[in-house]
A and B are shown apart, each in its own frame.
Chain A
Amino acid sequence: MDFFIDGLRRGIELILGGDPEVYDITLLSLRVALISTILACGVGVPVGFLIGTTRFWGRRAAITALNTMLAFPTVVVGVLIWGLLARRGPFGGAELLYTWWAIVIAEVVLAAPIAAALTAAAVQGIDPRVRRTALTLGASPLRAHIAVARAARFALFTAVVVAFGRVLAEVGAAMIVGGNIRHYTRTLTTAVALATSQGDFALAMALGLILFAIALTVNVLLQLFQGRVNA
């Protein structure tokens, strides 16, 4: 137990002491997570909206594909992206492997299906009268979609937060395509894995605490947003 308490104490000292490496890793993680979430939601939310509100040929297959992608092991996605970005791979010329952009690409592939699936479920759960009422009052199809999105705003916001959480907590793909290079592609999760394997429990605890603090902050913001909108 002392071992735990000692690790926790030293971890807090590292954070409060302004350890440059800890801050470096945190900033890179936040940058990767934010950009990946924006890109993943930029693709996933409209696709989910389409699947949730439109009847088209192959819709069931699309839903099955999405749900399968949700359960995709992250290391498999990491290996696939590694293969695509490796020098011998089809996109080797871009020289993105072992850069933080490679991590972003892998995280987008992992998080976009989550954003799409949760968006589809959110808009499917909305009262169909919302769209019909907007249309019969003269709304364009786009304005009617906006009315549906407004009605589903909490669930949509949750989809974004879950996608962000997935990206922030992901380790397998980030390790494979980023390479966990110090000051360059080392994120919070890959650093935790490395620090633990090297026996630096204090650093692992410090980074773990930061991950926890970010998750807590995001969820508190979500609660505040819901409270403000409901007020």
Chain B
Amino acid sequence: MLRASGIEHAYGGRPVLSIESLELPAGTITALVGPNGSGKSTLLRILAFLEQPRSGTVQLDGHSIRTTADRRRARRRVTLIEQYPLLFRGTVRHNLLYALSLHGIKGVEASRRTDAALERLHVGELRDRSGEDISDGERQRVAVARALALRPAVLLLDEPTGVADRAATAQLYRVLEEERSQQTAICFASHQLEDAYRWSSRLIALADGRASAVTPENLFRTVIPEGTGTRTARVGPLEVQVFTDKCGPATIAIPADELLVSLEPLHSSARNHFPGKVMRISEDGRGSVTLIVDVGVDLAVRITRASLEELGIKLGSEVVLSIKVMAVRVF
């Protein structure tokens, strides 16, 4: 569907993006993860044909998009929802009708699509409110509804749940999942790794404008209590035993390859045991499988396909994840 290759971009001589190749196939959800300033938003604007890279090409359905007229046509099929989306003056409904009018859709069809899109995002009751008088979270959902009403072939979202609560986040991603099943190519940028793992079919980690070789799995911000040696760090509802000399704010990494998966608690040297439920299973095609297990937070675990089959793990299976204290990295 959308393919970018050899993308190089710079602001005032400072390189900000260098992407060798990136593909957003139809019917997939790709997550872009990375810290602030890693180039996620710039990449999304380039993919949305709102910014032109210094070099490289972006193809839509196999056609290189080069000229102003090409970009104009492409933008009618690719829509970006910005991190802080803007609603135009007027009511929520007017915003959707305006977007549809840009595509030549008016009258009954426009009203029908507007109402359906607002209902889908559970913001139907806001239809007659001014875009300026609604909360940030509501504005974000209205912006998604406005984009979905256009039925784009490629939907790009920059931190779509930045201001949403957990329930609204899950609701939004479920809508994206439905959209994906309609063969829409979806790409969202998020700094919430749990969301990225849980809701995407593919994950691209960006660091300093480049696709990173290291996938930043199971990284959590925490506070290490005072003391030395083994301490207990809290990650949301999860208590993780760590061994470190550090104390105070820190980042911990629970390596996905070093987590053990079992159906019952293990009697072993591992002192961290996290019971949870398998929420997602994705295969990389080379015989390894990544599980997303909800243990209070979402943890990614990588095991072999053979182990998966031997344990009979399916979506919704209750499992226990175990890891040695020494294997939890603190930095």
Contacts and interface: CB of A to CB of B under 8 A. Distances in A.
Interface of A: 127, 129-130, 132-141, 143, 147, 150-151
A80 to B, nearest CB: 39
B82 A132 contact: yes
Contacts of A141: 68, 72
A129 B99 CA distance: 15
A125 to B, nearest CB: 15
B72 A140 contact: yes
A216 B164 CA distance: 49
Interface in B130-157: 146-147, 150
B150 A133 contact: no
Contact of B85 (A133, A134, A150): A133
Interface stretch (B73-81, B170-178, B252-260, B286-294): B73-81
Contacts of A130: 86, 88
Contacts of A134: 102
Interface in B61-106: 68, 72, 75-76, 78-80, 82, 84-86, 88-89, 98-99, 102-103
Contact of B102 (A129, A132, A143, A151): A143
B86 A136 contact: no
A184 to B, nearest CB: 47
A140 B71 CA distance: 10
A185 B27 CA distance: 73
B185 interface: no
A136 B102 contact: no
Given A132-B50, A143-B102, A137 B150 contact: yes
Contacts of A127: 86
Nearest to B68: A141
Nearest to A150: B89
Interface residues of B, number: 23
Given A137-B146, A150-B89, A129 B103 contact: no
Contacts of A135: 50, 75
Nearest to B143: A133
A142 to B, nearest CB: 10
Contacts of B68: 141
A151 B45 CA distance: 22
Given A147-B88, A150-B89, A138 B50 contact: no
Nearest to B99: A137
A138 B82 contact: no
B99 A138 contact: yes
A136 B80 CA distance: 6
Given A132-B50, A143-B102, A138 B86 contact: no
A148 to B, nearest CB: 11
30 contacts: A129-B82, A129-B84, A130-B88, A132-B50, A132-B82, A133-B82, A133-B85, A133-B86, A134-B102, A135-B50, A136-B48, A136-B50, A136-B80, A137-B79, A137-B98, A137-B146, A137-B147, A137-B150, A138-B76, A138-B79, A138-B99, A138-B102, A138-B103, A138-B150, A139-B102, A140-B72, A141-B68, A141-B72, A143-B102, A147-B88
A231 to B, nearest CB: 12
B86 A129 contact: yes
